[in-house]
Structure 1
Amino acid sequence: MKRVLVTGGAGFLGSHLCDRMLREGYSVIAMDNLITGDLRNIEHLFKEKDFEFYHHDVSKFVHVPGPLDYILHFASPASPIDYLKMPIQTLKVGSLGTHNLLGLARVKKARILVASTSEVYGDPLVHPQTEDYWGNVNPIGPRGVYDEAKRFQEAITMAYHTFHGLETRIVRIFNTYGPRMRLDDGRVLPAFIGQALRGQDLTVFGDGSQTRAFCYVDDLVDGIYRLLMSDYPYPVNIGNPDEITIQEFGEEILKLTGADQKLIHKPLPKDDPKQRKPDITKAKEILGWEPKVSRSEGLKLTYEFFKERVKTEKAQETE
């Protein structure tokens, strides 16, 4: 049985990747230091004989006994609230952590896929964003700790590929949503749903004309799996090109939740991207992939998850 290491394995995306790799017949090791991950995301896997959990920070030396066939590097704070609160850890996991895992992949002769992000494009001057666009990033702005960590991560991954001949894959992930997101992680979708569930008005930053394109987690995980199994070493955008303004998205959430609150506006944070939409031509041509889950369908599933989680947390508070 082939073995795969998933770093950030207790996180939102990492935990879904653990599920997928187990379903595909792999032995899975999830590694996480739990600064943003949550053991509740993987507690259903502890009974599986082919699943292990290592509580470890990949910014420190990484040791995994025995053979290893694949590494999925998804360890990193990924929301603005997290990486603004933990700027040094964010830079370290993108640099030292990636270096450690590339070294591990080389020793184990494993293929490694690293999770990059659409944030490497910064506040883009090209729309939609294609993989050959170099981006418009402020390296010393508040978001620079995340953007530049991911840009460095791509650079060192390609260096290991070209210099050492290491089998590498790079996925550029666009806005993704689904069950197991944290309500408090600061990203627009959980923020909107969290405010709706708490009876608060929904906060729209700026005038709401900035755009995002949301991909349901199952679609994203399928794209990542196809990229891992492909022979393509260069970055590939994985996301849903169905673009919507934040104002329109807030209205969709109010309609979905049946909340009678309103949208309120606050100043746009510094360097916040005005447009975000993936060009997925490469994913279609190379991987035969495109998203299947509509936003209305995915939002219903995500809202049900959040409703249950809030209900459980309230019940625990009253015990």
Structure 2
Amino acid sequence: MKKILITGAAGFLGSHLCDKFIDEGFKVIGMDNLITGDLKNIEHLFKLDNFEFYHHDVSKFVHVADELDYILHFASPASPIDYLKIPIQTLKVGSLGTHNLLGLAKAKDARLLIASTSEVYGDPLVHPQTEDYYGNVNTIGPRGVYDEAKRFQESMTMAYHRFHGLETRIVRIFNTYGPRMRLNDGRVIPAFIGQALRGEDLTVFGDGSQTRSFCYVDDQVEGIYKLLLSDYAEPVNIGNPYEISILDFAEEIIKLTGTEQKIVFKPLPKDDPMQRQPDITRAKSILGWEPKVNREEGMKLTYDYFKSLSKEELQRSEHKDFSVHNRK
């Protein structure tokens, strides 16, 4: 049985990846410090013999007694609200955490895949974004703590690949959505759904002309799985290339929820990218991957998930207390 360590295992994407690798017959070791993750996302796995969990911060030394075949590094705040509240931890998990896991991969002779992001492109001057575009990032802006953590993470990963011959993979994740997202974490879809569930008007920043491309979580996970098992070490975009403006998307949400909310406009946050659309030519040609779930289907599944939650579960999904961590 192949063994895989998944960091950020209790998070949105991490928990779905745990499910995927369990289903594929792997022994899965999940690791999370639970700053932004939630054990509820993986509690259904605790009864399984081929799953175990470590409550640990990967910014500190990482020890795993077992042999490992693969490591997925998905430990990081991934939403603007999170990484603006805990900027130091965001930088540390992208730098110290990545260094620790690269060292672990080297010691275990394991293949490591890191979760990078479309944010490495910043507010792009190239559209759609291809993997050979270097980006347009404000290093000292409020979003720089996340953008630069991911860019450094990529650089260190490639250094280990070139200098030590370590087997590494880099996935650049574009906007992904689905069940287990946290409401009101600053990302578009959970923010809109949270407002719709509470009967509030939907907040659009700027004039709503900025665009995003949304990928359903099952498609994202399948792309990551294929990349891990491929022979390709350069970054690969995994996302849905179908682009929509935020204003049009807000109107879609109102139609989906059957409510009568209005759309209200607020100033655009600093360095908020105006365009997000992946070029997935590389994923198609190298991995034979492209998304299958259209936005209408994926959004219905996501909205139905949040509607099924109890009031207590919804409140837990909305709030995270960072007070213990905000000075570290």
Classify the TM-score, shorter chain: over 0.9
Q: Which residue of 2 aligns with 1:185?
A: 185
Q: Which amino acid aligns with 1:20?
A: K
Aligned to 1:35: 35
Alignment correspondent of 1:291: 291
Matching residue of 1:66: 66
Letter matched to residue 80 of structure 2: P
CA distance in 2, matches of 1:197, 1:109: 47
After superposition, the Cα gap between the structure-2 partners of 1:310 and 1:194, relative to the gap in structure 1 and judged at 3 Å, is: farther
> 2:51 matched to 1:56?
no
Q: Where does the alignment leave 5 or more consecutive residues of structure 2 unmatched? A: 317-328
Matches within 5 A, 1:112-151: 112-151=112-151
The alpha-carbon deviation at position 312 of structure 1 amounts to 5.1
Shift of 1:314: 6.9
**1:2 Cα deviation after fit:** 1.0
* SS of equivalent to 1:284: helix
The answer to whether structure 1 residue 200 and structure 2 residue 200 are counterparts is yes
Pair 1:132–1:314, CA change in 2 (3 A): closer
Q: TM-score normalised to the size of structure 1?
A: 0.98
Amino acid at match of 2:8: G
Which residue is 1:260 aligned to?
260
Whole-angstrom distance in 1 between the partners of 2:172 and 2:313: 33
Question: Shift of residue 184 of structure 1?
Answer: 2.4
2:80 is the alignment partner of 1:80 = yes
Q: Counterpart of 2:309 in 1: which secondary structure?
A: helix
Instruction: Give the structure 2 partner of residue 15 of structure 1.
Output: 15
Q: What SS does structure 2 have at the residue aligned with 1:139?
A: coil
d(CA) in 2 for partners of 1:79, 1:309: 22
The residue type equivalent to 2:149 in the other structure is: A
What secondary structure sits across from 1:22 in the alignment?
A: helix
Distance 1:128 1:311 in 2: 40
Matches within 5 A, 1:295-314: 295-311=295-311, 313=313
Amino acid at match of 2:118: S
Task: Please give the per-residue CA displacement for 1:221-263, whole angstroms capped at 9, x wherever unaligned.
Answer: 0000000000000000000001000000000000000111111
Distance change in 2, residues 1:166/1:201 (3 Å): same
Partner of 2:222: 222
CA contact (8 A) 2:306 2:314 kept: no
> Hey, what's the Cα distance between the residues in 2 that align with 1:149 and 1:58?
14
CA–CA separation in structure 2 for the residues paired with 1:314 and 1:177: 17
Distance 2:93 2:184 in 1: 21
**What is the TM-score of this pair, normalised by structure 2?**
0.95
Quote the RMSD (CA, aligned, Å): 1.1
Q: Counterpart amino acid of 1:44? A: H
Equivalent position of 2:107 in the other structure: 107
Determine what percentage of the aligned residue pairs are the same residue: 79
Deviations 1:37-78 (A, max 9, x none): 000100110111100000000000000002000000000000
Q: How many Å separate the matches in 2 of 1:35 and 1:123?
A: 28
